[in-house]
Amino acid sequence: MPYKLGKLSPKWSDKTLLLDGYLKASAPPPPPSKSFYEYKIPATGWGMMKNATFGCCTCACAGHEVMNRSAHSGTVVTPTDAEILSMYGTICPGFNPTTDANDNGAAITDALNYMLTTGLAGHKIDGWAQIDQTDIGTVKQGIYLFGSVNIGVQLPNSAMDQTNAGQAWTVLDDDGGIDGGHCVAVMGYGAEGATCVTWGQLQQLSWEWFSKYCDEAYAEIAMDWVKANGEAVNSLDYTTLQADLAAIKA
């Protein structure tokens, strides 16, 4: 089955907040030992979001996160392929879905800025916070607090083979080299690893794999999700977060 990548190198944005600054204490309560939000959508219901044809993984990731949040807050909203391609055309200048011209991928922060300013399928975010991807505890906090974490990885060829074989992404001595950058939404975790949504399906990955190949991570902050999750709000400096979100949108 064909799979496309498309995440460009990490790109700093002055709209990026840092999640550590909003956890209420220097040593906040640890996240639950496991959490999973992907259960609201049938395993076969996520959709490819055109990522089998184009390098629009950053947009497909945004679409899957819209599905996740809307499923938990009411009725699931599934962005259309046309909406995904419109988003990709904006953040990947010159892209033409008819001719495949300039299918060059996009930076995650450009996709996040599109979600802040334009939105997808009528759903915007209020901002985003960068997570230290080397700190698995903080990654778990991000998933627990915000429903998912948007991660960028340098995907090895072995992961392509494991996906085709229905296997978890695990570290192999010979990974076949890096195929390119990829962006996925991580929506659940446990002691051994995490669950992401990519290429229209749920994909398991080990924490060892995450630590080796993940090069950036972000939490999309949508205040409707935060307000709906009373437990999560108790772990956040909610007042400061709201003030900073208002400032970056001013």
* Residue 176's CATH number: 3.90.70.10
Give how many domains the chain has, as a whole number.
1
Residue 184 lies in a domain: yes
Residue 60 lies in a domain: yes
Q: Which phi and psi (to 5°) does residue 128 adopt? A: -150, 155
86 vs 227, more confident? 86
Least confident of 64-73, 99-108, 239-248: 239-248
Can you give the pTM of this predicted structure? Answer: 0.94
- By CB atoms closer than 10 A (0-12, 13-18, 19+), residue 195 is buried
Identity at 141, one-letter amino acid code: Q
pLDDT, tens digit, 9 for 90 and up, residues 71-108:
998 899 999 999 999 999 999 999 999 998 999 999 99
The radius of gyration of the chain's CA atoms, rounded to the nearest angstrom, is 17
Alpha carbons 245 and 236: distance in angstroms, whole number: 14
Alpha carbons 212 and 82: distance in angstroms, whole number: 34
Mean pLDDT of 231-248: 79
Alpha carbons 227 and 68: distance in angstroms, whole number: 15
Where residue 166 falls (left for φ over 0; alpha for ψ -120 to 50; beta otherwise) is left
Range of 207's domain?
16-249
pLDDT of residue 29: 72
Share above pLDDT 70 across residues of the chain, in percent, rounded to a whole number: 95
Residue 6 lies in a domain: no
Residue 116 lies in a domain: yes
Identity at 121, one-letter amino acid code: A
Residue 3 lies in a domain: no
Mean pLDDT of 200-220: 97
Residue 11 lies in a domain: no
